[in-house]
Structure 1
Amino acid sequence: MTCLFVPPYLLEQIARSGGVGAAAARASATLSVDAQLRGQRAAQSRPTNAPSGTLVAVPGWTVHTADGSTTLPGRPVRAKGEPASGDDAVDEAADGIEGALRLFAEVFGRSSFDGAGAAVSLTVHYGRDYDNAFWDGAQLVFGDGDGEIFGRFTRPVDVLGHELTHAVTERSAALRYSGQSGALNESVSDVFGSCLKQWLLGQTVDEADWLIGAGLFVPGVRARGLRDMANPGTAYDDPRLGRDPQGASMDAYVETTDDNGGVHLNSGIANRAFHLSASAIGGRAWEGAGAIWYAALTGPDVGPDTDFAGFAAACVAAAGDHADVVGRAWETVGVTTASGSSSAAPTPTVPQESLVSVRRTGGFAGRTTEGTVDLGSHDARVPEVRELVDRIDLADVPGGDPHPDMFVYDFNLCGRCAKVPQQHLTPDLSRLAVLVLEA
């Protein structure tokens, strides 16, 4: 799975809002770079549920730098056991991955993301002004941000914990990254990202801020973080970002074709269920609700297509003496053990025959960006767009499920439509996306 940290709807809002400096252009550039992340995933093994143990070795890791390029993994600069490098991003990634691997080993008895001690590879300084972080099935990757809205993605340790947990989910429940299972995939990453931050700080559930990505935004941006697990929908309200769109209960569940079925929007519902459970149990989240969620994630009752109701039932089954409070937490957000329903995805509107449109959703921030080029206009992009459209055969583009935190593109080429996960973009589709989505 490839997992981008910033949801595409947030990057797309920045791109649309303009704002000061070059933030809008940089957000668009980040989305364009993400469009080119294709075919770079290592072969995946079957999901593994390794048994927990009391003494589990912390595996090795290596931090690389891409030096502003998009070539992975880049140049190795620091490995486990080596001293600090003096590069803030390198050392933040090193400290973060060491802490995250220790959390899974010492608290949950899991050796690395695969449960079998796999070494972890990380890359920092990815791209130029790159506003995202992701797991691509082989690598944890972090951008430096644009300096106007986003800072370094290595700075908040829960961002690293979030992405590593996508790898854990890939090798355990393998939750499909779409709809409710995709929202659970996102929520589980927030859960263990938050547990990591609380564990490193030695906080109880009452002392924690329950924010995801606190410190990610630069000063002057009206944002406490990217998400608020305790109060979804309240993390930010800024002219460039818009207002945090997450819902806090099933009453606010969003049925959409954007963002892989709203995985970053609807994850707030499951996040709040975790916060309510952790608060009711009390103490330290990783010992109480965190242990229950880990048991559910890695147990036999959760699989690729598990929905909210199925995951809630697995949590209740794993909760032991806390089953009642965990059940009430899920009921508070409107989730019961009855199977939920989802409406069919709306049929995309077909534009006029001269219009070429691209809609990009997903990413860690879950933002949406879209653009249109009229082939009958005097737009300077028309000659190249027309040439690309003439030679692109959408029937040749492979299908498949999207990967967590990576983008999904809806192409409409004069009435020929296709939804293409980022990893399946061809060079021509990637170039077309860059052209059509230009600010």
Structure 2
Amino acid sequence: MRHAFVPDYLLERVRAMDDAHCARCADLTLEHDRRFRATRGAQSLTATAVASGKPWEIHDAEHGTTLPGRLVRSPGDAATGDDATDEAADGIAAALAMYAEVYDRDSFDDKGADVLGTVHYDQNYDNAFWNGTQLVFGDGDGKAFGRFTRPVDVLGHELTHAVTERTAGLTYEGQSGALNESISDVFGISLKQRLLKQSAKQADWLIGEGIFLAGVKGTALRSMKAPGTAYDDPQLGKDPQVGDMKDYVDTSDDNGGVHTNSGIPNRAFYLAATAVGGSAAEGAGRIWYAALTSGIGADTDFAGFATATVDAAGEHADDVRKAWQGVGVTAS
């Protein structure tokens, strides 16, 4: 299953912009993504995982779509001077370190799998994704979107899709799909805060901060603290995320609103993390990781996951229960 960072509904808005360059790049990105989903990934768009014996490798697609591309950096190599390559290398290494040091997990499969990352994917590609085999990052169109390796939480987000795939295997539709997206945001933001040495209460809770360039009125792609407030642009519109069950969006678009409704469990995590205290990664993050790996089913809904987190919370069970109640979800 392919998981992309930018939802189709936002790319549709970019495609409708007055700026011809941005519109064309968004159109090409949408067409690429739809073709990928329709074919389930042609060989030119996918890669076969090869055990290299190294925890991670960064490749350069050189603005093509053949993966993984030319090997440009692996552990022990000096920085290359190419921003995307070095950001991907540092971010992936940091994400693997967080999973190992905080959650005692050995790579995304817990068996030491190599992590392949590819940068400079396609021409002005407005997205990043996990394709079931590797992580892939576009450079953005240079006007609406910047490069997708710049916010480290994007790297953590996409790698976490691989973790979820190997643990709960949450179905990418409806509430389980929104949980899938939210869990990637949870560990993406935990990685960002860990690198910044911030506590949950000090952090800004913005996902994809810096992904929008100066011409867009927005601070990030999503806000976990205040879903629906990350951007409000005359052409892109207002951030449509919701943060409470009373506003839940029942739709057939976006796999049943997985990117819109993920704001509900996102805000629950924010409330839990600030109540538990300390860092998000080592506080509420440990509770969410325990719930993710507790044997929950692929079709787990918000209430089911809330129950799993309360069960895993120990002395913080009341804090976690109240966090879910704060977004209109009741744990049984």
Deviations 1:55-103 (A, max 9, x none): xxx9611101111111111111111111111111000000000000000
Query: 1:157 pairs with 138, 152, 155, which one?
Result: 152
Query: 1:313 pairs with 294, 307, 315, which one?
Result: 307
Query: 1:260 pairs with 255, 262, 267, which one?
Result: 255
Query: 2:65 pairs with 65, 70, 82, which one?
Result: 70
Partner of 1:330: 324
Question: Hey, what's the Cα distance between the residues in 2 that align with 1:207 and 1:36?
Answer: 42
Partner of 2:11: 11
- CA shift, 1:256, in A, is 0.5
CA RMSD between the two structures: 1.5
Deviations 1:267-310 (A, max 9, x none): 0000000000011111111111100000000112x120000000
Letter of the structure 2 residue corresponding to residue 320 of structure 1 = G
Question: Hey, what's the Cα distance between the residues in 2 that align with 1:28 and 1:303?
Answer: 36
Partner of 1:417: none
Letter of the structure 2 residue corresponding to residue 214 of structure 1 = E
Question: Hey, what's the Cα distance between the residues in 2 that align with 1:216 and 1:239?
Answer: 17
Partner of 1:26: 25
Letter of the structure 1 residue corresponding to residue 23 of structure 2 = A
Deviations 1:90-123 (A, max 9, x none): 0000000000000000110001000000011010
Question: Does the 8 Å CA contact 2:276/2:319 hold for their aligned counterparts?
Answer: yes
Partner of 1:174: 169
Question: Hey, what's the Cα distance between the residues in 2 that align with 1:151 and 1:77?
Answer: 21
Query: 1:304 pairs with 298, 301, 309, which one?
Result: 298
Letter of the structure 1 residue corresponding to residue 18 of structure 2 = G
Question: Does the 8 Å CA contact 2:172/2:180 hold for their aligned counterparts?
Answer: yes
- Secondary structure, counterpart of 2:252 in structure 1: coil
Partner of 2:92: 97
Letter of the structure 1 residue corresponding to residue 315 of structure 2 = D
- Secondary structure, counterpart of 1:36 in structure 2: helix
- Secondary structure, counterpart of 1:22 in structure 2: helix
Unaligned runs of 5+ in 1: 45-57, 339-439
Residue correspondence of structure 1 range 219-238 to structure 2 within 5 A: 219-238=214-233
- 2:81 corresponds to 1:82: no
Partner of 1:287: 282
Q: Which moved more, 1:28-37 or 1:177-186?
A: 28-37
Cα distance 1:212–1:24, how it changes in 2: closer, same or farther (>3 A)? same
Letter of the structure 2 residue corresponding to residue 25 of structure 1 = R
Question: Hey, what's the Cα distance between the residues in 1 that align with 2:170 and 2:105?
Answer: 18
Question: Does the 8 Å CA contact 1:205/1:278 hold for their aligned counterparts?
Answer: yes
Question: Hey, what's the Cα distance between the residues in 2 that align with 1:181 and 1:252?
Answer: 17
Deviations 1:150-178 (A, max 9, x none): 00000000000000000000000000000
Letter of the structure 1 residue corresponding to residue 144 of structure 2 = I
Partner of 1:39: 41
Name the structure, 1 or 2, with higher relative contact order (CA <8 Å, separation 6+): 1
- Secondary structure, counterpart of 2:109 in structure 1: coil
The structure that is strand-richer by fraction is: 1
- CA shift, 1:14, in A, is 1.2
Question: Does the 8 Å CA contact 2:68/2:117 hold for their aligned counterparts?
Answer: yes
- CA shift, 1:240, in A, is 2.4
Question: Hey, what's the Cα distance between the residues in 2 that align with 1:284 and 1:235?
Answer: 22
Letter of the structure 2 residue corresponding to residue 297 of structure 1 = L
Deviations 1:213-269 (A, max 9, x none): 001111131111000000000000012221000001001101100000000000000
Query: Aligned pair count?
Result: 323
Question: Does the 8 Å CA contact 1:59/1:101 hold for their aligned counterparts?
Answer: no
Cα distance 1:307–1:43, how it changes in 2: closer, same or farther (>3 A)? farther
> For the pair shown, which has the larger CA radius of gyration, 1 or 2?
1
- CA shift, 1:42, in A, is 6.9
The structure that is helix-richer by fraction is: 2
Partner of 1:144: 139
Partner of 1:394: none
Cα distance 1:195–1:305, how it changes in 2: closer, same or farther (>3 A)? same
Residue correspondence of structure 1 range 288-437 to structure 2 within 5 A: 288-300=283-295, 302-337=296-331
Query: 1:133 pairs with 120, 124, 128, which one?
Result: 128
Question: Does the 8 Å CA contact 1:222/1:236 hold for their aligned counterparts?
Answer: yes
Question: Does the 8 Å CA contact 1:42/1:137 hold for their aligned counterparts?
Answer: no
Question: Does the 8 Å CA contact 1:59/1:111 hold for their aligned counterparts?
Answer: no
TM-score, normalising length: structure 1: 0.72
Letter of the structure 1 residue corresponding to residue 323 of structure 2 = A
TM-score, normalising length: structure 2: 0.95
- Secondary structure, counterpart of 2:262 in structure 1: helix
Question: Hey, what's the Cα distance between the residues in 2 that align with 1:323 and 1:280?
Answer: 11
Partner of 2:241: 246
Letter of the structure 2 residue corresponding to residue 332 of structure 1 = G
- CA shift, 1:35, in A, is 2.3
Unaligned runs of 5+ in 2: none
Question: Hey, what's the Cα distance between the residues in 1 that align with 2:33 and 2:309?
Answer: 34
Question: Hey, what's the Cα distance between the residues in 1 that align with 2:14 and 2:76?
Answer: 40
- CA shift, 1:43, in A, is 8.7
- Secondary structure, counterpart of 2:73 in structure 1: strand
Letter of the structure 1 residue corresponding to residue 299 of structure 2 = D
